[in-house]
Structures are given as structure tokens and as C-alpha cells.
Chains A and B, each alone.
Chain A
Amino acid sequence: MAELGSARRLPRFGFLLMLLLLPGSSARRDLSGPNDTWRTAAGSALEEPHHRTNGSATHKKAFPVLDFNYEHVRIPFEISLWILLALFMKLGFHIIPRVSHVVPESCLLIFVGLLVGGIIKAMHDKAPILDTKLFFLYLLPPIILDAGYFLPIRLFTENLGTILVFAVVGTLWNAFFIGGMMFAICQIEVAHLGGVSLLSCLLFGSIVSAVDPVAVLAVFEEIHINELLYILVFGESLLNDAVTVVLYHLFEEFSHAGSVTMGDAFLGVLSFLVVSLGGILAGVVYGIVGAFTSRFTSHSRVIEPLFVFLYSYMAYLSAEVFHLSGIMSLIACGVVMRPYVEANISHKSYTTIKYFLKMWSSVSETLIFIFLGVSTVEGPHNWNWLFVVFTLVLCLVSRVLGVVGLTFIINKFRIVKLTKKDQFIVAYGGLRGAIAFSLGFLLPDDETKHMFLTAIITVIFFTVFVQGMTIRPLVELLAVKRKKESRRSINEEIHTQFLDHLLTGIEDICGHYGHHHWKDKLTRFNENYVKKWLISGERSAEPQLISFYNKLEMKQAMMLVESNSSARLPTFASAASLQNVQPKEAAPRRAIPSISKTREEEIRKILRANLQKTRQRLRSYSRHDLFMDPFEDNMSEVRFRKQQVDMERRMSHYLTVPAKRQETPSVRKVWFEPEHKVHTYDLDDGESPAGLSFRPKPRPPEGVDLVDEDTPQNTNQGTAQPGQEEKLKPSCCLSDPGPNTEEEA
């Protein structure tokens, strides 16, 4: 296939480019750059023209028509080249479907990294290594922000206790168990490892024990496991950052000091509290500031996404300044900021944020894995069979023991118990990744460091390759529950809220200040005070059910308009129309004249020119796919149902997004007269959209009225929201203007 061929050619092209540049780079090592340290071979033919140009003229230099100055752009050039390489790899993998189904992407990328590293080593050049600063400051934050911003909050908070126990107690157990056992191993005469102190071993244990969010995300998103397990493993990988940070610094300090006292241990515990709570506090502060800022951005919508990114990044960096947990800060910032920011920003900004986050995190992840591969080939290794093998075995054993033991305790407090299958997946999903490697890299340079690094890399490779590849067949074998494909329906939302209130009420009747009670209090506090401060305009008073409904309606409307359905504009249901639901009241129905094909085409052209797509989130957290809207699948009935007999209502309103950047919500309405006249008119925000949508509705004889009372037609019903662009009044979709009596004001 030509496609396949070109895709294969491109990476080779990338390689060639890189190889060309290796000799072409200058001899100067770049110490300050965050990236890499290329060391050059002797100058090559590429430098010739430069010399020639210089050498030819003796006194007067000829004006250089063509000059070569690579030094000027070396760093950005190389960075871009690496990123391009990563992207080509990604592209290549997805073109060959079978491979990517069996092998997770992370494995493939590491493999590519190994190849590249091998090539570079063969050329006797120093390859770029996964520099710790580069990793922690540039590569990690986008991934964490992407995951944190789209974290399913409800599920997360419901399982917070479990997640915390796994993250804190589990990681502590892992660290001490591995560290202690490794020290015991080192005491064995055979290994000649007597020089490794207890504290070094504990340090090593703390590095290698933490579950890595990047690796977990990379593997779990491909297997589409059910939400509970996903949130448990992923939440644990996020929250154990605080533990890792504290343990690492603790043991690092102590291994310099040489001994540990009780006071130090106490300080360690205190430090953990400070690190985690401090990180969260920093994130919350930045989140609130960010939300507040977004309240005023209605006048310059273009920079809205930047605020989100920058505030989050600042939260991360600020936390890192004080050695607080940057990851927790980032997550807290995203979580706090999101509901308010989404209420304030325009739809396009929201889409931009989503796309950019996914893009950055995707690139970051790819780069991380490639670099991991390259660094593996590159780094100085010290392979000690005993040490490495035992590390591997102990990691697995301690993980299993930890999960099983903790689950036993946790299940006493959970309503939904974790089954054996769940425990297995949680234990098996404890993947190590690049964070462990980077932390190991920070260790002081000596023999033990190389040994540690080798062991860490082995563990990473094992978990990513073996566990990553086998988890999918295991999941299928064990018939673990997969993610539910269901879309978020309005009924579920209603009942979720209903249940919340019901359970709160029952708790109040029982006098039990439980989970629901506090959640209810928090929600009320949020509604009454916080929202008023952080959300601009009318939306601050909007209850959640309504905003949910509006969002859903708008997406539905846009999608429906885009699709080829010309018939009707129902909202959620496809087959049943509203007159089926209404109590039967007399009146014969009037047949609706059909719309000709040409008219349809015209309309479609108009609409398509103005529409933008929205996509709705799937619950399987496939981060890199910009997901198919689940509505679309269910709408196939609608799409192909043209000119059906059950057209009581004609297509009445189409909402289009105004093409010009305009603050006021301008709704362009199009509908059809039987005489094939298309009326279009613009609605400016002076008028209530809701009112207008109801006005052209004299009591049609067929009695299909959604709004029983006619009187409040022209008044500004509570749903009018002038401050909001591209907002579809829910009433619009359901109302039926009747065929011939519209005149527009």
C-alpha cells in the first residue's frame, strides 16, 4: 500500500536527517540547554561551503548568497526533530492495526527508543538522555494536567478513601518491604554487595515502589477497563506522588547523615502531611484564582485557554519550589478550576483546551517512552544478577501482598466490595515508569547508582512489556467488567440527583452525618456562595440539572443538524415523538408537507458552513482518541428516517454557531415554508431567545403542545441567558412553531 510505504519511509527519512546532522553539529557542548549534549565528530562536507566562503576572499569577503549557519537554530531544530520522530512513530503504529492491538503503544515506543539509541551508539555519539529537569518540568506536567482536568470527580471522591489507603499505606509498605529485603539480600556474601547501606536500600525501595501514572495511563486506556478499577489504579498513581517525594527526600537526607532517630521519623511524617496538604492547597489557590480570572475573559475569548494552562503550570512550579507535591497541586488546580471555568468560557475555548491538552499529553508521553529507550541503551549499566532479579521478584511480591492485605481491610468499609478479580487487576496494574527512572537519575553518581538504575530500568521494562502486553488477554480471560458504553442520559442524571437528595434525606432522618450529608452541605455552599463569585453572569444561578440538560441539548442539536436527517428534531429519543407521550387530546393531525431534496441540500450547505463539531466524552477514558460521540451511533435511526409519517412537527429551529466572533449570542434560525421559501433572520440578544422560540406558536390544531400555558410566551423565561454564546434554549428544540403562521419580528 502506498500509504503504508510512505509511512514507513517517513521515519527512515527522519533517521537520515538526524544522522546527517550529527556530524554537522558544532563541537561546542551545550551545557545550559535543557535538552541534550551532542558531541560532534569531525567537521564534514556540510561545513565545507562555510569554510570555502570564508577562505575564498582575502580582504573583501564576497557577499554570501547562500550561507550555512546551523548553530543558530541547533537547539530548536533538534527538539523539533525529536518530536517529529515521535509523531512519525505514533503514526506508523496506528497504520498497522494488528501490531497495535497486541502490543501496547508504550512498548513499541520504548522499542523504537532502543533502536534509535542503538543507532546513535553505533555512531559513537552521545545520545540525549532523559534529563531529570526536562522530564519533570516539561514532559510530565501536560500528562498530569490532561488526566487531572478530565478526572471523573464523582467516581474519584466516592472511592477516595480506598485510593488514599492504596496510595499512602501501599506505597509505604512497598518501599519498606523492598528496601528492607534488598538490604537483607545485600548482606549475602555471594553478591559482593556489602557496600550498600540500609538507607541506600531504603532509598532504592522508595524510588522503585511507586506506581507510575504515565505508564498506567498508557496501558489502561487501551484495555477499556471498567471505571472503578481505572480510577483506583490511576488515582493511586497520582496520589502516591506525595509519598514518593517525601520518602525520597527523607532517605536522601538520611543517607548523607548516616543515621536516623525517632525525631527524624516524626519529622518525616510531618513532612508528608505538609507536602501533600501543601500541594493541594497550592493547587486550590491557583484554581480559584484561575476560575476568578475566567469570569472576566468574555472580552477576549482567544486567550482563555492560555489562562487555564498557565495557572495550572504555575501551580505545579510553585509547588515544586517548596518541594511540595507538584502532581497533587496540578490535579487539585485542574479539579477546582474546571467547573467554574467551563461555565465561563466559550465553547470554542473549551474545545481548544481539550484538544491542546490531549495533543500535548500525547506528544509528551511518546517522547518519554522514546527517551526511556534511548537512555537505556546509553546509560552506564552495572548489571548484578542477584540484585536485579531479586528486585523484580520483590516488586511483584510486595505489590501482590500489599494489595491483598489492604483490600482485606478496606472491604470492611466499602459498600461495593472489591472482588478477587478486582484485586488481581489492581495488583497487576501497578506499573512502574519514567518517574522512577528520573528519580534514580538524580542520585549521586557512583557505582551503586548505576546498579540501581539498571535494576530500575529492568523493572520498568518488565512491567511495561510483560505486564502491559499480557494485561489485555488477562482481562478478557478473567472476564473483568469493561467500561459501560452507555451515554449519559437525562434520566440517569435526574435519578442521580434524585438519589443524592433521597439519601441525604434518609441520612438526616436517621440522624447520621454521613457521606451524603457532607456532600450535600458542600454542594449547597458551592451553589450559594462560591458560584456567585466565580461564575459570570446568569449562569451562576443555574442548577446543575439544567446546565447538564442544556449542554446535552446543544450537542444533540448540532449533531442532528450536521447529520443528514431532514425530518425532525427530536431531542434525545429517536423513535418516539412527543405526541406519543402527551395525553391524547382529540384533534386530528395535520399532515406535514414534505421538503424537497433541493431544499434540503441548500439548507445543509448553509448549516455546514456555520457549524462546528462537538464531541462528547466517552467513559472509557481513551485519552488520545478524540472520541466519537456516542450519540451519533444511536442517532443512526434518526439520520435515515426521512419523511416518515410520524412527522407531526417539522424541523423548526436549527441552531448555528455564529461565524463571526461576537460576544452576544446570536441565533440564526432557519425554517421552511411549504412554499419553499426559506426565511432566515438573525436574532440579537436584545430579545429573549426563549420568548421568541415560543412565540410563533399559535395553538396548532393538532394539539401537540409542549407548553401547556400560552401566556408566558413572550416573557423572558428563566432560561434566557444573554451572557452565553452559542447557547441553545432547550425549549427551542421541543417547540413546534406550526407550519404557516410565523412571521418574524
Chain B
Amino acid sequence: MGTLQSSAGHPLYTELSEKTGFSAEQIAVLHKRFKQLSHNEDILRRQHFDEIPDLSCNPIRSQITEAFFDKRNFSRSNEGKVNEIGFEEFLLVMSHFRPPSQSMTQEQRENVRREKLRFLFNMHDTDNDGTITLEEYRHVVEELLSRSGALEKETAKSIADAAMLEVASISVGHMEPDEFYEGITFEHFLKLLDGFEIESKMSIRFLNVDATTLCK
């Protein structure tokens, strides 16, 4: 997916800026970081992510890492995974975490929300089938609890089950006993996290990235 000139000149930045919505200086900073992570190569692989020390104590690091290599996050029509990414893909994934600007219309805000929720949804839906099944949700909860030591599988299962029940009741309401709730579709996911204000919660201030404090 596209190689990058090592000397990223301004025209490249502007093109990326239009694509991802970052400002030129943000892109410059992120580019520096990209180079650091990839040891000055042009592509990032999974092992580069594993080398980040702070990330190793994160319980969901594998999911985060996978999200970077998930084609669905690059553009809407792709599917599947890649093994290495370039700077543009890195930026595309990062652009999901941009804070919404104040001058957005309601519709733009709604789009931003959908984008971010789509990103989250893709993180949960690991088998690409468009729904989050019970198994996948259980996996999510188990990962979340994995840092706490004793892997309490039973509780994780119960929590995931309860959560699924809740989703089912919110989305579908009353169900007959022989009806079956396949899994959380994206629409249900939207409805579920409706009040969550994701557009402000899922944001990082990018300008303060200090590329000098970093990984070995």
C-alpha cells in the first residue's frame, strides 16, 4: 500500500492532510514517531508494536495492534488483514482519534460518531462477519480482565452474557423463546452506545506528541 519518500515533502503532507484531516504539523510529528517506531524504515510490522514498552502492560494490546493492520480501518470497502503498513495507513488509523472540531455541523458530528464507533466495532468483530457474537464479546471481556491476574473465566463469561442480554433487550426488545439473537450488528452497536458521547471521549490531543520521549 504505497511507499513513502524518505524525505516527506510538503506536497505529500498536504495530500495526506486532506485525506486524513490532520494538520501539516501534526502529520510531521506523527511522521517522526512513525520513523522511530519503524527504525527509520518505511513500513511498520507487528513486532514494531510489540517493542513499545508501555504497550506491554496494556490488557488489550493485541487488539490495538490488530486494529492497525486491519484493512477495514483503511477504507470502508476492504476486508482482511495485512502484515505491514505504511505511513498513510498509520495516519488513517490515527485519524479515528482526532477530536471533533467545534465548527462541525450536526451531520458532520454524526459522521464522526459513526466513524469512531465503526472503529470500535471492527476491533470487536474479529472474524469480519459484521456482527459481534457472544464468543467475540466474551473474548473482549476476558482481555479486559486479563491484567488482573487470576483469569476468572467464569465471571468474564457471566459479564459478557449479561452484556449481550442487555444489548438484545435494548435492540430487539421482547423476543420469543425460539427467536435467536445472532449478535450485535453495527446498528445495534450504535444504539447501544448512543448516549456515550464517543466523539469527545475517543479523542487524543495530537499536537503534544513529543517524539523524543519514546520507546527504545
Contact = CB atoms under 8 A, between A and B. Distances in A.
Given A541-B150, A584-B180, A499 B202 contact: yes
B204 A706 contact: no
Interface in A293-347: none
A575 B168 CA distance: 8
A199 B135 CA distance: 70
A582 interface: yes
Given A508-B54, A576-B165, A503 B102 contact: no
A580 B145 contact: no
Interface in B44-80: 49, 52, 54-55, 57-61, 64
B166 A573 contact: yes
A490 B166 contact: yes
B60 A502 contact: yes
Given A491-B167, A511-B33, A524-B57, A717 B154 contact: yes
B209 A511 contact: yes
B159 interface: yes
Interface stretch (B1-9, B16-24, B189-197): B189-197
Contacts of A584: 180
Interface in A508-540: 508-514, 516-517, 520, 524, 527
B173 interface: yes
Contacts of B99: 415
A742 to B, nearest CB: 20
B193 A718 contact: no
Tell me which of A498, A578, A584 has the highest count of chain B C-beta atoms within 10 A of its own C-beta. A498
User: Looking at chain B's contact residues, is the secondary structure mostly helix, strand, loop, or mixed?
Assistant: helix
A548 to B, nearest CB: 9
A511 B215 CA distance: 8
Nearest to B37: A509
B110 interface: no
Interface string A702-718: 00001100001000011
Tell me which of A542, A571, A580 has the highest count of chain B C-beta atoms within 10 A of its own C-beta. A580
A734 B159 CA distance: 10
Interface string B8-50: 0000000000000000000000100100110000000000010
A710 to B, nearest CB: 12
A411 B52 CA distance: 33
Nearest to B61: A505
B135 to A, nearest CB: 8
Interface string A556-575: 00000000000000111111
A545 interface: yes
Contacts of A33: none
Contacts of A209: none
A504 B154 contact: no
B129 interface: no
A74 interface: no
A731 B155 contact: yes
Interface in B71-116: 94, 97, 99, 102
Interface residues of B, number: 75
B172 A576 contact: yes
B148 A719 contact: no
Nearest to A641: B174
A495 B208 contact: no
Interface in B144-174: 144-145, 147-152, 154-155, 157-159, 161-170, 172-174
Contacts of A574: 169
Contacts of B161: 571, 578, 581, 706, 734
Nearest to A556: B162
Contacts of A637: 174
A577 B177 contact: yes
B158 A416 contact: no
A29 interface: no
A494 B168 contact: no
B172 A510 contact: no
A594 to B, nearest CB: 15
B157 A415 contact: no
A527 B81 CA distance: 35
B211 to A, nearest CB: 6
A740 interface: no
Given A499-B201, A510-B30, A718-B150, A706 B158 contact: yes
B128 interface: no
A507 B97 CA distance: 10
A491 B193 CA distance: 8
B177 A717 contact: no
A504 B140 contact: no
B67 to A, nearest CB: 9
A575 B152 contact: no
Given A498-B140, A545-B145, A581-B165, A510 B209 contact: yes
A507 B58 CA distance: 11
Contact of B159 (A494, A511, A527): A494
Tell me which of A543, A646, A712 has the highest count of chain B C-beta atoms within 10 A of its own C-beta. A543
25 contacts: A411-B102, A415-B203, A494-B144, A502-B60, A505-B64, A510-B206, A510-B209, A511-B209, A511-B214, A545-B145, A549-B155, A572-B169, A573-B167, A573-B168, A575-B173, A575-B174, A576-B165, A576-B168, A576-B174, A580-B179, A580-B180, A583-B133, A583-B134, A583-B180, A730-B162
Given A503-B97, A575-B172, A731-B155, 12 more contacts: A415-B200, A484-B195, A505-B64, A513-B210, A546-B145, A577-B165, A581-B181, A584-B180, A717-B152, A718-B151, A734-B161, A734-B162
Interface of B: 30, 33, 36-37, 49, 52, 54-55, 57-61, 64, 94, 97, 99, 102, 120, 123, 133-134, 140-141, 144-145, 147-152, 154-155, 157-159, 161-170, 172-177, 179-181, 192-193, 195-196, 198, 200-206, 208-211, 213-215
